[in-house]
C-alpha cells in the first residue's frame, strides 16, 4: 500500500509540473505575440492567428520571436 501511495503522489506531482510548464509556455508565447501588436485590436487578432500558424508549423522556440516579428512586419504592409 505504501508503494501505491508513493506512486500515485509521484505521478500526480509529475503531471502537475508538466501541466504547469505547458500552461506557462503558452502564456509566454501568447504574451510575445500580443506585445508585437501594441494596442491595435485587429493586429492582436492577426498576431494570435499567426501564433497558431507558427504552432501548427512547429516553429522552434528560439526562432519564434523572429518568425512573429516577420509576421508583424507583414501586417504593417497591409
| Residue-level pLDDT at 71 | 93
Distance CA 49, CA 1 (A): 49
How high is the pLDDT of residue 35?
95
Predicted local confidence at residue 27, as pLDDT? 97
- 77 confidence band (pLDDT: 50, 70, 90): low
Q: Are 36 and 72 in contact (CB under 8 A)?
A: yes
Statement: residue 23 has pLDDT above 80: yes
Cβ contact 59:67 at 8 Å: yes
| 45-55 pLDDT per residue, tens | 999 999 999 99
Q: Which three cell numbers mark 41?
A: 485590436
| Span between the terminal Cα atoms of the chain, in Å | 64
pTM: 0.80
Integer Rg of the chain from CA:
18
Amino acid at each position: 500500500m505504501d508503494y501505491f501511495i508513493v506512486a500515485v503522489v509521484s505521478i500526480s506531482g509529475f503531471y502537475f509540473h508538466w501541466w504547469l510548464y505547458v500552461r506557462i509556455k503558452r502564456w509566454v508565447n501568447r504574451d510575445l505575440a500580443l506585445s508585437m501588436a501594441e494596442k491595435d485590436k485587429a493586429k492582436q487578432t492577426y498576431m494570435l492567428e499567426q501564433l497558431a500558424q507558427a504552432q501548427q508549423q512547429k516553429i522552434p522556440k528560439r526562432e519564434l520571436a523572429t518568425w512573429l516579428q516577420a509576421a508583424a512586419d507583414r501586417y504593417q504592409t497591409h
